[in-house]
Amino acid sequence: MSFNTAVKSWVLNTTSHARNKDMIPSMVKVGMPIARFQVKPGTPQLDPSKPPEEGIFLACSSRYFEEVHCLYWLYSSEDFHTRLEATYSDAYMQQPVSWLCSMHSIVALGALCVPLVDGLPDKELAHRSLEVAKLLVPKLCDEATLDSVRALVLLVS
């Protein structure tokens, strides 16, 4: 991102571009975006190391397959449902960060049109799931697998 920002600033800044075309200015430091969503007091916190609630995730994943999967084919249906079954069958099994990020991203995508079980407003659940997925990004980048790329694509969708 820093290199891209430096190139854009060099191209857009016509005064320095006119002076010396061969000199690219030093790179601009770019950091991770800061979470802007505030959780209301008394709202249960989502744990990034745990998958979303099963009922909510099933509803959001069906919406994902109806509306997003046809555009961005990231998971085969069989693989997705096999992982889903394994995730909720053993609650104590540690899930890969990429799969958890994908799950929270799918909830963030589909929460606005899902009837809720726990009483949270749809928009609040979507924001909270998105924030949890964002919290997983540093670990996700360290994982560096094909599933990490899938999770990042879902996160930016």
DSSP string, 80-148: HHHHHHHHHH-TTSPPPHHHHHHHHHHHHHHGGGS--SS---HHHHHHHHHHHHHHTHHHHHHH-SHHH
- pLDDT for 101-141, tens place per residue? 999 998 888 887 766 555 565 778 888 888 988 888 888 88
Please name which of 99, 108, 98 lies closest in space to residue 35, comparing C-alpha atoms: 108
pTM, full prediction: 0.67
Q: 4 pLDDT exceeds 50?
A: yes
Range ranked top by mean pLDDT from 37-41, 52-56, 66-70: 52-56
Residue 57 has pLDDT above 60, yes or no: yes
Report which of residues 11 and 54 the model is more confident about.
54
- How is residue 124 written in tokens? 């609040």
Query: Is residue 22 over pLDDT 60?
Result: yes
